[in-house]
Amino acid sequence: MRTLLLLRHAKSGHSDDSIPDHDRPLSERGRRAAPRMGQLLIDADLVPDTIISSSSQRTQETAELVAEAGDVLQAVEYDERLYLASAKTIIRVLSRLPSRAQRVMVVAHNPGLEDAVRTLTGRSEDLPTAALAHIELPIESWNELEGKVKGTLQKIWRPRDLESDE
């Protein structure tokens, strides 16, 4: 059994049209939401042993803030293939992970993440910015992962739901 955590990047800024999409930073709201999701990892006993992030500025910032707040011991890995990746690409990246990775978090973008949830669980779910999906996969090694593998969606946390708990 492997645990997959899919995290959509936190809210980014849109105020400056001169900044290319890949280089957009997090907004103030995004900088507040990401550490809350990191604390959630601790509270839910879901701290990942591996974090792989898209190469965009907003995903890198999200991954770093989550890792710091979530006491993740390993450095975040950045993979250009995850920038605006399809579900198929996300699954391909995961399938090449070493077998020592037990609990993996992918920080990336929609619509690829929502499609990955649907492909891997059969469930259509909305993943707003900074939402986290927890999926359990019936595999012993990541190289077994393919689109036909059906995991179980355990839970989705959305920042607005956490705000109502505070």
Domains of the chain, by residue range, sit at 2-11+21-165
φ, ψ at 13 (rounded to 5°): -85, 145
Position 10 pLDDT exceeds 80: yes
pTM of the model: 0.95
Give CATH for domain 2-11+21-165.
3.40.50.1240
- Is residue 7 within 8 A of residue 131, CB to CB? The reply is yes
User: What distance, in Å, lies between the first and last C-alpha atoms of the chain?
Assistant: 33
Q: How far apart are CA 105 and CA 93, in angstroms?
A: 12
Strands of the sheet with 2-8, listed across from one edge:
77-79, 50-54, 103-108, 2-8, 132-137, 152-157
Classified as helix, coil or strand, 53 is: strand
Q: Which residues of 89-126 are buried (b: 16+ CB within 10 A; e: fewer)?
A: bbbebbeebeeebebbbbbbbbebbbbbbebbbeeeee
Classified as helix, coil or strand, 78 is: strand
**Arithmetic mean of pLDDT, 69-97:** 95
Q: How far apart are CA 66 and CA 131, in angstroms?
A: 12
pLDDT confidence band for 11 (50 / 70 / 90)? very high
pLDDT confidence band for 161 (50 / 70 / 90)? confident
**Maximum distance among all Cα pairs of the chain, rounded to whole angstroms:** 46
Q: How far apart are CA 102 and CA 2, in angstroms?
A: 5
pLDDT recorded at residue 54 = 98
